[in-house]
Amino acid sequence: MSSRFTFARWLLLAGAMLAGSVQAITISPVLIELSPAQRVVSVTISNPSDQAMSFQTETLAWSQPDGANHYEPTEDLLVAPPIAEIPPQSSQIFRITLRKPLSDTVEQTYRLVLEDVSEALTPEPGVVAIRFKHNLPVYVIPASETKAAPHWSLCAATAGKGCVRLDNDGSRRLRISELMVAGQGWQQKIPGGAVLAGAWKQWIFDLPPGRGQPTSVTAKTEQGEISANLSVPKP
């Protein structure tokens, strides 16, 4: 997957229809990795519009203590500049580094928020200006080798629903782009997600009518495809 991602800034409204005239900013990269070999990472925002744009940064600690994402303000990361105005047809580089020592064994996880705080815009007639808040993952990799250690199981769900759970007992996140769950005579795709080191995540989904719980799961990850048979978790 490319490390470059385009975010729509302007949307053209044509009557009751949403048309596709778009002026867009670009952010690159959209996934940040800090490590002993790369202690500073540069993120570039490009402004192709005819108006100046301002972006303010915020850093958050990212954890998953109960199977859900939690974010808290942190000063562990240093971002320079913390706020910047980007002239029309120009770019701005934000540099990110870690203030504290690297962990010896486990990957640390954060989020970098880049918020559009531009002054009141003056779009063309018929165009709606939309401000965005971009939330980028930041992974801090220790000097020692890290790897994910996934363990899959079934989990409790209400009637007509299926549930699969992933426990990551490793020292590195597992980023899943897509899941394929399958049972006797059926299979279906469900969206993925990131499971941090030492964390877990559940996916609850609709079962096909008259079908039982899934018996296997296949996940597409940044480390490749992984598959597992599913078993009921121990009480």
pLDDT of residue 128: 57
Q: Specify the 3-state DSSP secondary structure of 16.
A: coil
Say how far apart CA 167 and CA 153 lie, in whole Å: 8
Write down the pLDDT at residue 24. Answer: 80
Question: Per residue in 97-123, pLDDT tens?
Answer: 999 888 889 999 999 999 999 986 555
Rounded to the nearest integer, the mean pLDDT of the chain is 87
pLDDT recorded at residue 159: 92
Average pLDDT over residues 62-70: 97
**What element of type H or E holds 123?**
none
What pLDDT is stored for residue 215 in this prediction? 95
Q: What is the pLDDT of residue 171?
A: 96
> Token pair of 208, please?
């096909």
Q: Is the C-alpha dihedral spanning 84, 70, 26, 223 positive or negative?
A: positive
Task: Please name the amino acid found at residue 91.
Answer: S
Q: Note the pLDDT tens digit of each residue in 130-166.
A: 678 999 999 999 989 999 999 999 999 999 999 999 9
Residue whose structure tokens are 């705080």: 117
Query: C-alpha angle 135/3/54, rounded to 5°?
Result: 45
Name the CA dihedral angle for 167, 170, 173, 176, rounded to a multiple of 10 degrees: -50
pLDDT at 2 exceeding the cut of 50: no
How confident is the model at residue 207, as a pLDDT?
Answer: 95
9: tokens are: 């800034």
Distance separating alpha carbons of residues 18 and 177, to the nearest angstrom: 28
Nearest CA-CA partner of 126 in 2, 19, 217:
19
Q: Cα 136 to chain center, whole Å?
A: 6
| Cross-strand bridge partners of residue 79 | 96
- The pLDDT of residue 102: 85
- CB atoms near residue 6 (< 10 Å): 12
| AA identity, residue 69 | N
219 and 225 Cβ atoms separated by less than 8 Å: yes
The answer on pLDDT for 13 being more than 50 is no
Residue type, 188: Q
DSSP secondary structure letter of residue 31: S
Q: Which of 1-10, 11-20, 81-90, 115-124 shows the highest mean pLDDT?
A: 81-90
Strand partners, 190: 179
With 50 as the cut, is the pLDDT of residue 173 above it? yes
Mean pLDDT of 188-193: 95
The arithmetic mean of pLDDT across residues 177-191, rounded, is 95
pLDDT of 9 over the 60 cut? no
Which of the residue ranges 61-65, 97-101, 158-162, 229-233 would you say has the lowest mean pLDDT?
229-233
Q: What is the largest CA-CA distance in the chain?
A: 62
How does strand 32-34 pair with strand 133-140?
Answer: parallel
Residue 231 has pLDDT above 80, yes or no: no
Average pLDDT of 211-218?
94
